[in-house]
């Protein structure tokens, strides 16, 4: 089950220092990320998990090219990444669906930017909306959609220009538990169908264990990749099976250890 | 497929995708609702008119200062018959539309550029705030000095005041576009001018349209009051002010009513339609 494809994405010695303006000519430096190293193989599903404020979203935004890095290197398919690009599709926690475009218009947006001819766009839109189960909502404006539906537009939109890597920043964090689990299952389905490489930021242990091939655990600030846990279970996973619960427990205990809870009791993990 | 997947296909079928069957219109409900809406709209106006009529006929108030409705009506019909009313309406609307059009175009362009470029913003924001604090009417004496008592004077002030208003709103609009929408646009490959026109401008539109609304109503006020100051031989404001010389209160009241009705019509026709086509369709504005 472990994926042995070629290395897709490689992050080496990545640092991020935020300089905060304190006023009156004073500044404070905050080290958000310190020498982050990891690699993602082609077709792999990787989760980044860690306590809030550990810099996992910052890391994802740097890979997306939306934030500047302070030092280090991000390499995707041999290209050094310093800016946004069509080789990466980003899904945001806030959905960030454009309210002035219809569902289809949102999905088309990236393709338009990439310069894909008109005639080729529509079949892609239809296929992706079917994939995220939104056929019939093509001409609807986003305000009429629920949160879960908006995020499905977000996923379809990020897939539309056929990126190499999907970068997902706590995409289900703002959804209720039921919608979240339904979207997690949908994501597994989409992932199995599209064979995309996915880098997925989450704060939920169960979500990370349910979705990923590998879970990368980050330490509290300054964020580093502290541990790595392989989840070698076939998909779709049964979240109530003994094997799954063991994996979940392992992730939770390791995370609790990183948080400085020496007894290793992940009492704070309820999700 | 595992049980979890099966459960989702059973319960997760997206609502609203199934075919909806609608019967014939329910006229009873339609009439009741529109009747109710009309009553709520008309009742306060009718009440006000009745109150006025009672007061005018009660004999406690001077009939020259508070003429009854029928007298105002007759005066306005005379004005309409002689063609003066239509000339006044035409001239005032012409001034409004020319001034407001120039204001909308220039204010939008300058405001958007301010939102886009920080240097322009820093240069233009202080004078913008300054002139925002100066009532347009206060500019009339100066502008009359420059251009004399002409249409040009009136339209210049109108344009300037409207432009400042639209500028502020266009600029704020760009500044308050949701950061996550900008990130999404950039992540999907939009840069520079493309990002600006595809994300910033539509994102700024709710504010921009709000600005148009304020600018229109301000411009209308300036037209009417400006016509009193610049005294241009025609126009609704001029007529109201001129009626003072003849103690023609009925003409004043009639003029004020026409000004109000026209203002509402312009607002509803011009601006509501832009709103309906954009922000209301997107659900970023509710009515």
- Give the pLDDT of residue B28: 87
- Give the pLDDT of residue B4: 43
The number of residues in chain B equals: 287
CB contact residues (below 8 A), chain B span 7-66, against chain A: 8, 11-14, 16-17
- Least Cα distance to A212 among A233, A195, A183, A226 occurs for A233
Question: Contact B279/B285 with Cβ under 8 angstroms?
Answer: yes
pLDDT of residue A202 exceeding 90: yes
Express as a percent the part of chain A with pLDDT over 90: 82
CB contact residues (below 8 A), chain A span 1-60, against chain B: none
- Give the pLDDT of residue A263: 54
| Dist. CA B242–CA B3, nearest whole Å | 84
Domain extent listing, chain A: 1-80+199-271
Express as a percent the part of chain A with pLDDT over 70: 94
Tokens at residue B210, please?
A: 């709000």
Question: Contact B153/B230 with Cβ under 8 angstroms?
Answer: yes
- Least Cα distance to B250 among B78, B73, B50, B111 occurs for B73
Tell me, letter by letter, the H, E, C secondary structure of chain B: CCHHHHHHHHHCCCCCCCCCCCCCCCHHHHHHHHHHHHHHHHHHHHHHHHHHHHHHHCCCCCCCCCCCHHHHHHHHHHHHHHCHHHHHHHHHHHHHHHHHHHHHHHHHHHHHHHHHCHHHHHHHHHHHHHHHHCCHHHHHHHHHHHHCCCHHHHHHHHHHHHHHHHHHHHHHHHHCCCHHHHHHHHHCCCCHHHHHHHHHHHHHHHHHHHHHHHHHHHHHHHHHHHHHHHCCCCCHHHHHHHHHHHCCHHHHHHHHHHHHHHHHHHHHHHHHHHHHHCHHHHCCCCC
Task: Give the pTM.
Answer: 0.84
State the pLDDT confidence band at A95, using cuts at 50, 70 and 90: very high
Question: Contact A129/A103 with Cβ under 8 angstroms?
Answer: yes
Going along chain B from its start, the domains and CATH numbers come out as 79-282 (1.10.3720.10)
Question: Contact B28/B35 with Cβ under 8 angstroms?
Answer: no
Q: What is the mean pLDDT of residues A207-225?
A: 92
pLDDT of residue A66 exceeding 90: yes
What are the pLDDT digits (tens) for B112-153? 999 989 999 999 999 999 999 998 889 999 999 999 998 999
- Give the pLDDT of residue A126: 95
Say whether B17 and A99 touch across the interface (CB within 8 A).
Answer: no
- Give the pLDDT of residue A271: 52
Burial label for A4, CB within 10 Å (0-12, 13-18, 19+), is exposed
Alpha-carbon B102 to chain mean position? 15
Mutate to test the interface with A, among B1, B188, B195, B206 (most CBs of A within 10 A): B188
- Give the pLDDT of residue B50: 93
Say whether A92 and B183 touch across the interface (CB within 8 A).
Answer: yes
pLDDT of residue A51 exceeding 70: yes
Identify which of A98, A134, A239 has the shortest CB distance to residue B14.
A134
- Least Cα distance to B194 among A112, A88, A84 occurs for A112
CATH for the stretch A1-80+199-271: 3.40.50.300
Identify which of B5, B188, B205 has the shortest CB distance to residue A236.
B5
- Give the pLDDT of residue A265: 54
pLDDT of residue A238 exceeding 80: yes
- Give the pLDDT of residue B165: 94
The residue assigned the tokens 């010389």 is B245
Series of mean pLDDT values for 10-residue runs along chain B (287 residues): 42 50 84 88 91 88 87 93 93 94 96 93 95 91 92 94 95 94 96 94 92 92 91 87 88 93 88 83 73
- Least Cα distance to B92 among B287, B280, B258 occurs for B258
Between B268 and A185, name the one with better pLDDT.
A185
The residues near B49 (Cβ < 8 Å, ≥ 6 apart) are B69
Judged by a CB distance cut-off of 8 A, whether residue A141 touches chain B is yes
Closest CA of chain B from A254, distance in Å:
27
- Give the pLDDT of residue B226: 92
């Amino acid at each position: 089950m472990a994926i042995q494809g070629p290395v897709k994405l490689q992050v080496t010695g990545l640092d991020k220092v935020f300089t905060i303006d304190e006023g009156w000519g004073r500044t404070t430096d905050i080290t958000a990320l310190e020498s982050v190293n990891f690699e993602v193989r082609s077709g792999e599903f990787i989760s980044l998990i860690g306590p809030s404020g550990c810099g996992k979203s910052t890391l994802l935004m740097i890979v997306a090219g939306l934030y500047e890095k302070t030092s280090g290197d991000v390499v995707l398919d041999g290209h050094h990444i310093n800016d946004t690009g069509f080789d990466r599709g980003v899904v945001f926690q806030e959905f960030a669906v454009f309210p002035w475009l219809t569902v289809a218009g949102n999905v088309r947006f990236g393709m338009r930017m990439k310069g894909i001819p008109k005639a080729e766009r529509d079949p892609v839109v239809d296929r992706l909306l079917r994939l995220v189960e939104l056929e019939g909502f093509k001409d609807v404006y986003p305000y009429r959609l629920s949160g879960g539906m908006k995020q499905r537009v977000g996923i379809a939109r990020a897939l539309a220009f056929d990126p190499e890597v999907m970068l997902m920043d706590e995409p289900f964090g703002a959804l209720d538990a039921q919608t979240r689990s339904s979207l997690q299952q949908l994501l597994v389905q989409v992932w199995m169908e599209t064979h995309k490489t996915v880098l997925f930021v989450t704060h939920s242990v169960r979500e990370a264990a349910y979705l990923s091939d590998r879970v990368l655990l980050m330490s509290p600030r300054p964020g580093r990749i502290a541990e790595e846990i392989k989840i070698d279970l076939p998909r779709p996973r049964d979240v109530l099976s003994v094997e799954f619960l063991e994996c979940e427990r392992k992730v939770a205990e390791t995370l609790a250890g990183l948080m400085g809870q020496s007894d290793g009791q992940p009492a704070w993990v309820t999700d | 497929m595992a049980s979890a997947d099966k459960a989702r296909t059973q319960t997760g079928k997206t609502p609203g995708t199934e075919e909806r069957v609608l019967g014939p219109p329910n006229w009873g409900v339609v009439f009741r609702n529109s009747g109710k809406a009309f009553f709520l709209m008309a009742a306060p106006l009718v009440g006000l008119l009745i109150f006025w009529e009672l007061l005018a006929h009660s004999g406690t108030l001077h009939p020259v200062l508070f003429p009854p409705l029928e007298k105002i009506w007759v005066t306005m019909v005379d004005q309409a018959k002689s063609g003066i009313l239509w000339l006044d309406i035409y001239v005032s609307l012409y001034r409004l539309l020319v001034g407001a059009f120039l204001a909308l175009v220039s204010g939008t362009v300058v405001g958007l550029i301010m939102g886009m470029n920080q240097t322009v913003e820093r240069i233009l924001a202080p004078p913008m705030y300054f002139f925002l604090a100066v009532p347009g009417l206060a500019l009339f004496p100066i502008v009359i000095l420059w251009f004399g008592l002409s249409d040009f004077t009136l339209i210049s002030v109108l344009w300037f005041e409207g432009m400042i208003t639209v500028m502020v709103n266009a600029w704020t609009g760009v500044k308050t576009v949701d950061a996550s929408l900008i990130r999404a646009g950039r992540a999907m490959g939009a840069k520079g001018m493309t990002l600006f026109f595809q994300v910033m401008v539509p994102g700024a539109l709710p504010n921009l349209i709000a600005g148009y609304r304020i600018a229109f109503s301000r411009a209308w006020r300036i037209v009417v009051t400006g016509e009193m100051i610049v005294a241009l031989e025609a126009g609704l404001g001029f007529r109201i002010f001129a009626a003072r010389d003849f103690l023609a209160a009925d003409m004043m009241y009639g003029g004020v009513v026409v000004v109000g009705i026209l203002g509402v019509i312009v607002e509803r026709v011009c601006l509501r339609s832009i709103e309906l086509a954009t922000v209301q369709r997107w659900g970023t504005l509710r009515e």
